[in-house]
Structure 1
Amino acid sequence: MKKIQWLLALVLISLVSLAQAITLPGPVVSADWLANNMSEVQVIEVRTDLASYLRSPEFDTDKKTGKKFLVEVGGHIANSTLLDFKKVRVERLVDGKKIKHLIPEKADFEKLVQSLGINSDKPIVLVPIGQDMSDIDEALRTYWSFKVYGEDQVAVLDGGMAGWLSEGREFTIANSPKATGNWIAKAERKELIASSNEVAAASKSGKPQLLDARQPAQYLGLAKRPDVLTFGHIAGSKELAPELLARPSNGALYFWQKKTYDALLAANGLSSKGPTIAYCNTGHLASGGWFVMSELVGNKSTKLYDGSLYLWTLEGRPLVGVPLN
């Protein structure tokens, strides 16, 4: 009898804990919200420059106004954990070929997240550097990966660490290792991933619409990344350049409101509604296009082409662009 009472008590405690668990306000949280709810969430700082996590930030002073401003991000939010962005994308075998830049297998992603000390009992807030859209896309690619594997209690800090520091908030350069967490992948949402064949069909039919998330020079075929074998873009695609996706303020980048994104999409010949596939060079910058379309505009029929033009051109598929001399 006592054992049954003890089990019932544990169940009640668990239910109360779930009822009290905080709910994220949306896919993006402000620095104010994070500061007020720090003990209720788990913070992951997503970076390529790993040394910056334990390095002091650099500030300078405007000679005219005397105002201090951020020059280089350093340090981290207390009790956060560091995620090496290079581990977010891996090499996998696809049809017997080794393909780089892809989302890890479910078990591998689960192991990676657990190694950060992340548990399943609290929401997750991802923090980019926040000074360039490319580094913000590191957090957005991680966000997309969490979504693929069933995690809905995840958000991104608006302004990133740059915004946090520019607002004069507390930071630390101390390292605080964490025990292995118990986070579990709850699903495998393959509907968020577009295949090469889906992209090829969309290029011919115009549906879904194709969103190219690269800079104009790459879209037009004037320049290319080394991983992409030929110049240009997929026929029928429309560009949404990364520099359009956020607004600068005090040394940090912040997301626009939905109405601004709706207008930007329309100005670039893209619809804010209807099926969409976002792509870029390797699936990094495409995370920004996917996040804006799916999470901020609310178009849930948006996919990301994992591997993007690296995979597309590796398969010998064509691109179009302006004539080169």
Structure 2
Amino acid sequence: MKLVNLIGAGILGAAAQMASAAGLPGPLVTPQWLHEHMNEVTIVDIRDDMKTFTAEPKFEVDKKTGKKDLVQTGGHLAGAISVDFGKIREERTVDGVKIKAQLPTAAFFTKAMDDAGLNKTDKPIVIVPTGESVDSMDMATRLYFQLRYFGEPRDKLAILNGGVNAWLQAGFPVVADKAATAPGNWTAGTEDKSILASMQQVKEGLQKGSDQFVDARPTAQFLGIVKKPINKTAGHLPGARSFPTDAIVKPVGAAHEFMTADDYKKIYAEFNIQPNAPTVTYCNTGHLASGAWFVTHEILGNQNSKLYAGSMIEWTNLGNPTVGLQ
């Protein structure tokens, strides 16, 4: 009887362990999926306005329909750890020039994750932005990229599509308590350089014509009509194709969501972007471009897609050429 009990306990224990390590359905999860698997994943909230983490969301009732509409982001998913987007990148010196908002060192990123309370576990990580804008969704993709780059496997990472706003619109609750302050024990692993393009690799790709360059900034910046003050010159990389910021996600109520692979194939065709060609995405600092990389690499499955994390801030401040109106 004791042996039978031990075997039974072992089977139940193994089943519980398998249940606690639920597989992710893909790089994106829905609010419904996350609601059903909250205890089986690590939820990582990322945003740049940290006040909203402990604020209550605001709703307005449509007088005609009686429908309650979300009008202001607030709160977070229960149990989430909090990551400040402004603290996951660092200033680096390249060829004697200080460049802001660059891909951090392993030590810097490890500290940022540990300060946020991220632990090394077998649980998958679900990244949750606010979802209020394309900028917000691309904060999630930038954190996703860095976790991938520093060793987290693809099958252990996902983003909540539409973020907190989609969660609220689905009728699920949020909390407004302060984030836990206990330090984590996450550590950066082996760097996956297959998803990162260096400035030298960009130069070589331009010279050989071997890579497709995709610019993820607003159209006016791509054309050189305007430029960010952080960039020395306006315009885009020679031969680059525009995948403008407002085409990366679609608004759904107060949320912004990534689309399907079929949708992106149609969108890429409109912008003359080849979904399966060797591709390098870039923007100003590698923030918006991480969204374009996520679409190309993770949703469309183009494993020969890289993010130029240095982007235009590095490219222009080190004197490299651009094409544009100015």
TM-score (ref. length: structure 2): 0.91
1:286 counterpart = 2:298: no
RMSD, aligned α-carbons = 2.1
Indicate which of 288, 298, 306 corresponds to 1:295.
298
Q: Deviations over 1:127-183 (max 9, x none)?
A: 111121111101110000000011121110011011111222111111241422222
Give the 3-state SS of the residue equivalent to 1:310 in structure 2. Answer: helix
Gaps of 5+ in 1: 1-12
Q: In 1, distance between residues paired with 2:278 and 2:91?
A: 28
1:212 CA drift (Å): 0.4
Deviates more, 1:68-77 or 1:193-202: 193-202
Q: In 1, distance between residues paired with 2:306 and 2:42?
A: 27
1:99 counterpart = 2:102: no
- The answer as to whether partners of 1:206 and 1:236 remain within 8 angstroms in 2 is no
1:100 CA drift (Å): 1.3
1:203 CA drift (Å): 2.4
Structure 1 residues 178, 33: closer, same or farther in 2, change over 3 A? farther
1:312 counterpart = 2:297: no
1:127 counterpart = 2:122: no
Q: In 2, distance between residues paired with 1:174 and 1:319?
A: 47
Indicate which of 277, 280, 298 corresponds to 1:277.
280
1:20 CA drift (Å): 5.0
- The answer as to whether partners of 1:203 and 1:237 remain within 8 angstroms in 2 is no
Deviates more, 1:304-313 or 1:183-192: 183-192
Aligned length: 314
Q: How does 1:148-297 map to 2 (within 5 A)?
A: 148-152=149-153, 153-297=156-300
Deviates more, 1:199-208 or 1:66-75: 199-208
1:142 counterpart = 2:143: yes
1:82 CA drift (Å): 1.1
1:19 CA drift (Å): 7.9
Q: In 2, distance between residues paired with 1:223 and 1:254?
A: 27
Q: Deviations over 1:183-210 (max 9, x none)?
A: 2323211222111122122223332100
- The answer as to whether partners of 2:97 and 2:318 remain within 8 angstroms in 1 is no
Structure 1 residues 188, 19: closer, same or farther in 2, change over 3 A? farther
Structure 1 residues 167, 207: closer, same or farther in 2, change over 3 A? same
**What corresponds to 1:114 in structure 2?**
114
Q: In 2, distance between residues paired with 1:141 and 1:117?
A: 18
Q: In 2, distance between residues paired with 1:14 and 1:109?
A: 34
Q: In 2, distance between residues paired with 1:28 and 1:161?
A: 14
Give the 3-state SS of the residue equivalent to 2:159 in structure 1. Answer: strand
**What corresponds to 2:63 in structure 1?**
63
Structure 1 residues 19, 292: closer, same or farther in 2, change over 3 A? same
1:14 CA drift (Å): 9.1
Gaps of 5+ in 2: 1-12
Q: In 2, distance between residues paired with 1:236 and 1:221?
A: 14
Q: In 2, distance between residues paired with 1:202 and 1:110?
A: 31
- The answer as to whether partners of 2:20 and 2:39 remain within 8 angstroms in 1 is no
Give the 3-state SS of the residue equivalent to 1:37 in structure 2. Answer: helix
Runs of 4+ with deviation above 4 angstroms: 13-16
Give the 3-state SS of the residue equivalent to 1:288 in structure 2. Answer: helix
1:18 CA drift (Å): 6.4
- The answer as to whether partners of 1:119 and 1:181 remain within 8 angstroms in 2 is yes
Q: In 1, distance between residues paired with 2:16 and 2:75?
A: 36
Structure 1 residues 19, 29: closer, same or farther in 2, change over 3 A? closer
Q: In 1, distance between residues paired with 2:178 and 2:221?
A: 40
| Identical-residue share of aligned pairs (%) | 41
Structure 1 residues 188, 14: closer, same or farther in 2, change over 3 A? farther
Residue type of the alignment partner of 2:264? Y
Structure 1 residues 15, 108: closer, same or farther in 2, change over 3 A? farther
Q: In 1, distance between residues paired with 2:203 and 2:278?
A: 14
1:95 CA drift (Å): 3.5
